[in-house]
Amino acid sequence: MNNPCERAPGIGIAMQQRLTAGALCAMLALLACGGGSSPAPTPPPPPPSVGAADASRLLDQATFGVTASDVAHVQAIGVDAYITEQLAYPPTQYTGYAYTPHTAPTSCKNDGSSPPDAASLCARAQYSPFQVQRDFFIHALNNPDQLRQRVAFAMSQIMVVSSVEIYEAYGLADYENVLLNDALGNYRTLLQDVTLSPVMGHYLDMVNSAKSNPANGTVPNQNYAREVMQLFSIGLVQLNPDGTPQLDANGAVIPTFNGATIEGFASVFTGWTYPPLTGASSQWTNPINFDGTMVAFAAQHEAGTKALLNGTTVPSGQTPEQDLANALDNIFNHPNVGPFIGKQLIQHLVTSNPSPAYVSRIAAVFADNGHGVRGDLGAVVRAILTDTEARGAAPASDGFGRLREPALFITGTLRSLGGQSDGVLLRNSSSAMGQPIFSPETVFSFYPPSFQLPGTQTLAPEFGIDNAATVLARANFINTVVTQGGAAPDSTVPGSTGTTVNLTLATATDNTTMVTQLNQLLLHGSLPSDASTIILNAANSTSAGSTDALAATRSAAYLILTSAQYQVER
């Protein structure tokens, strides 16, 4: 055999002279001169091409706001890889909260005075949603696990608790951490963790619900039993896989449950109380404590059989834990869960009025993620975001899209314009727009998923809180952060930074280019030409004779952000 370091065919003499003997031998080995070497691996194919408009639309659906750097990142790695990357992020949670007694001490009581009174500052921090609301916006603006945070926010509006009842800050934070942990896991796990959360137990009265007592006429509390079915899982009527109601022979909808079913689940959910305080022994009716999960007391659990969904009966003589597992499995396996939960997630992430076909495709993924697993929320969210109706440079239909709910309107503005905030202005503004974060008035959240535009059959849930006052609040917010330069730090909040945006992101040598940049940054490049002309004329007029170098940008940004084209995300 020839020496492998002799000149090989195809390698020029000049090149060979420039190579050292060792380098040439290594090169020839790669050319299989020595025999037995594996061929070089085939490089992976490049990610499918993603246009800037589609990348921007994806980020509107999957995050709390589009940034130019994220658009470039999605274009570089592709939609599927971006979602995979987001699904892999661990949850960034609410931290720094500690147990506080349900009754505030006299030194920590809100007597109506404004901060910086020591008692009211204590009450604001520990016995109101103030700090948790601030943290929500800080997380939304800055955390890398954007998709998880976004889905957890959607779940907080489906599996609702509220500071109307849970006024302790640590309790609200604990519950939001449950949703963050489970938002992209399995729905069965989420259902159990929500059910056993002492926060939910307190809010919907499962905690300390005891077996029937004929002596005093008490029966198991039915509140959680009703809402876990009506709102958290299957809804009121039987559904087809595409989310449309099933009808009986007379054309009437078919109820999913009746009074006997509610009684059966109420009996299942008896015998649970708050977790014991640290260092204390556990007893029936432990003191109010939102840290941890509820604990069972078999002596307070309803005995006997219990009627559940679809003719299932829980046998008598089981422990509270066994009954609970049977009941949650019964709910989890109901065919309504996929279309009921899937449709609401589509509404919160992509479009308020999804087609039945879209719902059906998502329900199928809920039923089986492709590997025989039911309830895989990560797979469901991926399917929602990659569906043919969600992707593309333009909306799937004229009825496609959703009004940006207040929280997303606020965070979308700040993230796209390079904003920063301590959350104070943002939680105040969101409340003024009709969405006080984590503080809905009822278990039905801020607006029902079935709300329709008046006079139409078009689903548009977020319009349920859209009125003259909240529309004005939206404009006032944009005026504050864009026109007035933001909000100053709050002296009563440690480390307060206020709220500002960075309008230099859209500076250009001429106003035409600046408007084009804002159009791409905020509207996926979809601004109609006539609207673009109006905005450009306004920018030119504003900048004429102004000493403010950003006057034109402020004018253009204000007009775009308060426009219907921006506020209805498509």
The per-residue DSSP string of 508-556 comes to -SSHHHHHHHHHHHHHTT---HHHHHHHHHHHHHHHTT-S-TTHHHHHH
- pLDDT tens-place string over residues 81-99: 999 999 999 999 999 999 9
Please give the Cα distance from 409 to 419 (Å, whole number): 13
Helices (H), 277-405: 320-332, 337-349, 356-367, 377-386
Position 66 scores a pLDDT of 97
Place of tokens 């603006």: 141
496 with 507, same domain: the answer is no
Q: 419 falls in which pLDDT band (50, 70, 90)? A: very high
Query: E strands, 527-570, where?
Result: 568-569
Provide the 10 A C-beta neighbour count for residue 372: 6
* Domain stop point among 444, 467, 500: 500
The domain total for the chain is 5
Residue 19 confidence class, pLDDT cut points 50, 70, 90: very low
Q: Give the mean pLDDT of 356-364.
A: 98
Domain membership of residue 230 (yes or no) is yes
Mean local confidence (pLDDT), 364-374: 98
Same domain, 285 and 311: yes
306 CB-near residues (< 8 Å, 6+ apart): 264, 265, 267, 268, 313, 314, 323, 327
Same domain, 317 and 415: no
pLDDT for residue 20 is more than 50: no
Q: Quick one: which H or E segment has residue 96?
A: none
Domain identity same for 444 and 480? yes
Same domain, 25 and 123: no
CA 459/CA 237 separation, integer angstroms: 18
pLDDT of 2 higher than 60: no
**Residue 403, helix vs strand vs coil:** strand
Domain range for 549 is 503-569
C-alpha 569/C-alpha 155 separation (Å) is 20
Whole-angstrom distance, CA of residue 133 vs CA of residue 429: 11
My answer on whether 513 and 435 are in the same domain is no
Q: What whole-number percentage of the chain has pLDDT above 90?
A: 86
Q: Are residues 446 and 533 in the same domain?
A: no
Confidence (pLDDT) at 190: 98
Question: CA 264 to CA 188: how far, in whole Å?
Answer: 20
Cα 133 from Cα 186, distance rounded (Å): 26
On average, the pLDDT of the chain sits at: 92
List pLDDT tens digits, range 209-234.
999 999 999 999 999 999 999 999 99
- Classify residue 18 by burial, with Cβ atoms within 10 Å: 0-12, 13-18, 19+: exposed
508 found inside a domain: yes
Residues 297 and 181 in one domain: no
Distance in angstroms (rounded) separating the CA atoms of residues 533 and 537: 6
Domain boundary among 500, 530, 555: 500
Cα separation, 205 vs 224, in Å, equals 6
Residue type, 222: Q
Q: Is residue 52 part of a domain?
A: no
pLDDT digit string (tens) for 456-491? 999 999 999 999 999 999 999 999 999 999 999 999
| Residue 61 reports pLDDT greater than 90 | yes
- 86 contact partners, CB below 8 Å, separation of at least 6: 62, 145, 146, 147, 148
The answer on pLDDT for 48 being more than 80 is no
Alpha-carbon separation of residue 216 from 12, 148, 209, 268 (angstroms)? 101, 47, 14, 20
Hey, is 218 helix, strand or coil? strand
Same structural domain, 427 and 521:
no
Structure tokens at 478: 């944009």
Q: Identify the three-state secondary structure at position 418.
A: coil
Backbone phi, then psi, for 178, in 5-degree steps? -60, -45
Residues 493, 425 share a domain: yes
Residue 210 in any domain: the answer is no
pLDDT exceeds 90 at position 282: yes
Of 174, 404, 436, 369, the C-alpha closest to 289 is 174
Q: How far apart are CA 342 and CA 369, in angstroms?
A: 13
**In the predicted structure, residue 8 carries a pLDDT above the cut 90:** no
Question: Contact 426/455 with Cβ under 8 angstroms?
Answer: no
Residue 5 pLDDT: 39
Is 209 within the bounds of a domain? no
Exposed/middle/buried for 89, CB within 10 Å: 0-12, 13-18, 19+? Answer: middle
Q: Is the peptide bond before 46 cis (omega within 30 degrees of 0)?
A: no
User: What per-residue confidence (pLDDT) applies to 43?
Assistant: 73
Is residue 174 within 8 A of residue 199, CB to CB? The reply is: yes
Residue 423 sits in the same domain as residue 511? no
Q: Are residues 68 and 126 in the same domain?
A: yes
Rounded Cα–Cα distance for residues 353 and 254 (Å): 23
- CA-angle at 135, arms to 132 and 138, nearest 5°: 160
Contact yes or no for 339/233 (Cβ under 8 A): no
Q: Mark which of 500, 529, 558 sits at the end of a domain.
A: 500
Residue 198 has pLDDT above 60, yes or no: yes
Q: Is residue 191 part of a domain?
A: no
56 in any annotated domain? no
Average of pLDDT values for 286-303? Answer: 98
- Residue 406's pLDDT is what? 98
* 206 in any annotated domain: no
**pLDDT of amino acid 38:** 61
Each residue's pLDDT tens digit, 497-547: 999 999 998 777 899 999 999 999 999 999 999 999 999 999 999 988 889
Question: CA 436 to CA 160: how far, in whole Å?
Answer: 13
Put simply, whether the predicted model's pTM sits higher than 0.75 gets the answer yes
Q: Which amino acid is at 130?
A: F
